[in-house]
């Protein structure tokens, strides 16, 4: 596929930034995960002594692994479209086609007398929902979590770098009590960290309990086996290689797993992306006000007519892509937790779009990182703007006067400052007229916009 003819920009314009997700969310990936689930189930069956199946040896596991690793696009197409030799053709059922394909791979091996155990007692959703859970868990562990961790680290570095830069705050867009640039960045860092921690603690529920969720076929064939414990153990084997994003068995379901943990995941992703939209918009405003400046990149053009332009395109691009991802995550969470009598197939086409939502998210994270990598604080401008608004210390003055029991302190400062310019000289004249103790008068006159930052200096 040529990048210029791709329907989605994720596979076209932005293919290089999102390519890592293809091994988790492509149709090829889905087929591979289905095969992985089927093989691991076959191995687990062989280890249950009461079934009387010859135990799969290490050599046979190695054979299966080599066969699995040899699967290429030709193999995937044979599964997807079928061929006469394999007997797959015409199934119009992805999971059944996978079962037949595995049988074809193993028919001339030592597994020849065990092929009837492939997909034994399972319904297709047992395979599908486990495959999707693995796709989600592996993509989170290998792509999304590392990108977020890097973003958190970068935000933390900027917070530390800018912690001592006093800055005019704005509430309702108007000059307000001073803060520091580092503290304003820290707000986003702590918000993101809270969601990041919740994301990394999330486990995904899967079901492997047959056509109606009651282990009917399994119990009919082998009533003495504790199938619930068997499948709990099997599901735990899918967690190797990851330190988080574990899969857990949900033993009480109908034909499908209700996807509530999917919804929890998507809601966390929505919150992360919403916080980052807020962050991008604030960064955009700081750049617009010249409080943060961008380092121009040689060769780049900011405008087709205005040569001077250096646009905040990374933050703008991220904002748009985050919005697309949020819309999809919101739909996924709302849609997938509802199914007619807990089984209709409308979820199938929806699940195939998981990679789109995560693709736009990853694209946004990389854009934000790129944007943060070419900015610096314009400390001189930030300080000059703060110095131009001495009225913001009125809050501190009236609060100290209230402490000292001066009546109508708020009202007096309101008359002095509201809707009119006020200078430091105005404040000093006001203080001189109050007949205060010399120590209090000195305390009030020591207030300056650049030092009136409270605990913000700690960030």
pLDDT at 78 over 80: no
Q: What is the pLDDT of residues 400-455, one digit of tens each?
A: 999 999 999 999 999 999 999 899 999 999 999 999 999 999 999 999 999 999 99
Q: Is the pLDDT of residue 83 over 60?
A: no
Give percent above pLDDT 70 in the chain.
97
| Residue 91's pLDDT band (cuts 50, 70, 90) | low
Q: Are strands 292-294 and 174-180 parallel, antiparallel or unpaired?
A: unpaired
CA-nearest of 133, 128, 138, 132 to 38 is: 128
pLDDT at 326: 98
Q: Which residue ranges does the chain devote to CATH 1.20.200.10?
A: 126-379
Contact 88, 82 (CB under 8 A): yes
Q: How high is the pLDDT of residue 11? A: 92
Name the least confident of 102-106, 256-260, 360-364.
102-106
Question: Which residues are bridge partners to 176 per DSSP?
Answer: 169
Q: What is the pLDDT of residue 169?
A: 97
Task: Say how far apart CA 388 and CA 404 lie, in whole Å.
Answer: 28
In the predicted structure, residue 80 carries a pLDDT above the cut 70: no
Any idea which fold 126-379 has? Fumarase C; Chain A, domain 2 (1.20.200)
Q: Of 383, 384, 416, nearest to 397 (Cα)?
A: 416
- Model-level pTM? 0.93
> Is the Cβ–Cβ distance between 400 and 414 less than 8 Å?
no
Tokens of 45: 């069956």
Task: Map tokens 């332009």 to a residue.
Answer: 309
Q: What is the pLDDT of residue 177?
A: 97
Q: How many residues does the chain have?
A: 459
* 247-249 and 204-206 strand pairing: parallel
User: What are the tens digits of pLDDT across the range 247-256?
Assistant: 999 999 999 9
| Dist. CA 233–CA 248, nearest whole Å | 9
Q: Which of 3, 303, 348, 384 is catalytic?
A: 303
280 Cβ neighbours under 8 A, 6+ residues apart: 315, 316, 318, 319, 322, 368
- Find the catalytic residue in 172, 243, 308, 438: 172
Q: How far apart are the C-alpha atoms of 41 and 347, rounded to whole Å? A: 24
Q: What is the pLDDT of residues 146-189, one digit of tens each?
A: 999 999 999 999 999 999 999 999 999 999 999 999 999 999 99
Written out in words, the top-level CATH class of the domain with range 389-458 is mainly alpha
Which pLDDT value is given to residue 205?
98
Q: Is 303 a catalytic residue?
A: yes
Which tens digit of pLDDT belongs to each residue from 192-243? 999 999 999 999 999 999 999 999 999 999 999 999 999 999 999 999 989 9
Q: What number is the average pLDDT over the span 312-330? A: 97
Mean predicted confidence (pLDDT) in 121-146: 97
SS (H, E, C) the chain: CCCCCCCCCCCCCCHHHHHHHHHHHCHHHHHHHHHHHHHHHHHHHHCCHHHCCCCCCHHHHHHHHHHHHCCCHHHHHHHHHCCCCCCCCCCCCHHHHHHHHHHHHHCCCCCHHHHHHCCCCCCHHHHHHHHHHHHHHHHHHHHHHHHHHHHHHHHHHHHHHCCCCEEEEEECCEEEEEEEHHHHHHHHHHHHHHHHHHHHCCCEEECCCCCCCCCHHHHHHCCCCCHHHHHHHHHHHHHCCCCCCCEEECCCCCCCCCCHHHHHHHHHHHHHHHHHHHHHHHHHHHHHCCCEEECCCCCCCCCCCCCCCCCCHHHHHHHHHHHHHHHHHHHHHHHHCCCHHHCCCHHHHHHCCHHHHHHHHHHHHHHHHHHHCCEEECHHHHHHHHHCCHHHHHHHHHHHHHHCCCCCHHHHHHHHHCCCCCCHHHHHHHHHCCCCCHHHHHHHHCCCCCCCCHHHHHC
CATH 1.10.275.10 domain extents, the chain: 15-120
- The matching CATH number, chosen from 1.10.275.10, 3.10.620.30, 3.30.56.10, 3.30.70.1710, for 15-120 is 1.10.275.10
Alpha-carbon span 343 to 213, nearest angstrom: 11
Inform me whether the pLDDT recorded for 84 exceeds 50: no
pLDDT recorded at residue 82? 56
Q: What is the mean pLDDT of residues 52-68?
A: 93
The predicted pLDDT at position 457 comes to: 85
Residue 85 has pLDDT above 60, yes or no: no
Contact 389, 357 (CB under 8 A): no
């Amino acid at each position: 596929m040529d990048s210029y003819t791709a329907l989605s920009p994720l596979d076209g314009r932005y293919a290089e930034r999102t390519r890592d997700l293809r091994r988790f969310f492509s149709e090829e990936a889905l087929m591979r995960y289905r095969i992985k689930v089927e093989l691991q189930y076959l191995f687990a069956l062989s280890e249950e002594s009461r079934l009387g199946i010859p135990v799969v040896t290490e050599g046979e596991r190695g054979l299966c692994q080599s066969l699995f690793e040899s699967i290429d696009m030709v193999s995937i197409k044979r599964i997807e479209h079928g061929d006469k030799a394999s007997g797959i053709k015409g199934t119009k059922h992805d999971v059944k086609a996978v079962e037949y394909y595995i049988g074809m791979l193993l028919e001339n091996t030592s597994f020849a007398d065990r092929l009837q155990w492939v997909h034994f007692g399972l319904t297709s959703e047992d395979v599908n929902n486990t495959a999707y859970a693995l796709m989600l868990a592996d993509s989170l562990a290998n792509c999304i979590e590392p990108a977020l961790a890097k973003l958190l680290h970068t935000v933390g570095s900027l917070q530390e770098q800018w912690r001592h830069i006093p800055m005019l705050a704005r509430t309702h867009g108007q000059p307000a009590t001073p803060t520091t640039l580092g503290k304003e960045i820290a707000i986003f860092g702590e918000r993101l960290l809270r969601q990041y921690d919740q994301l990394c603690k999330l486990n995904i529920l899967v079901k492997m309990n047959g056509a109606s969720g009651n282990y009917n076929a399994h119990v009919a064939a082998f009533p003495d086996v504790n199938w619930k414990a068997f499948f709990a153990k099997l599901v735990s084997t899918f967690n190797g290689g990851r330190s988080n994003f574990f899969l857990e068995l949900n033993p009480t379901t109908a034909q499908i797993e209700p996807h509530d943990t999917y919804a929890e995941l998507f809601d966390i992703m929505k919150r992360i992306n919403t916080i980052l939209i807020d962050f991008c918009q604030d960064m955009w405003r700081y750049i617009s006000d010249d409080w943060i400046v961008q380092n121009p990149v040689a060769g780049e053009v900011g405008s087709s007519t205005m040569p001077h332009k250096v646009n905040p395109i990374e933050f703008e691009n991220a904002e748009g892509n985050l919005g697309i991802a949020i819309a999809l995550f919101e739909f996924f969470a709302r849609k997938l937790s509802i199914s007619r009598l807990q089984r209709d197939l409308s979820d199938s086409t929806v699940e195939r779009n998981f990679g789109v939502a995560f693709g736009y998210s990853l694209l946004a994270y990389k854009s934000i990182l790129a944007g943060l990598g070419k900015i610096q604080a314009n400390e001189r401008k930030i300080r000059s703007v703060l110095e131009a608004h001495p009225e913001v210390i009125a809050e501190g003055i009236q609060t100290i006067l209230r402490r000292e029991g001066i009546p109508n302190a708020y009202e007096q400062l309101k008359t002095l400052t509201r809707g009119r310019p006020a200078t430091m000289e105005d404040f000093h004249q006001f203080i001189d007229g109050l007949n205060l103790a010399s120590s209090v008068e000195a305390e009030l006159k020591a207030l300056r916009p650049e030092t009136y930052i409270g605990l913000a200096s700690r960030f």
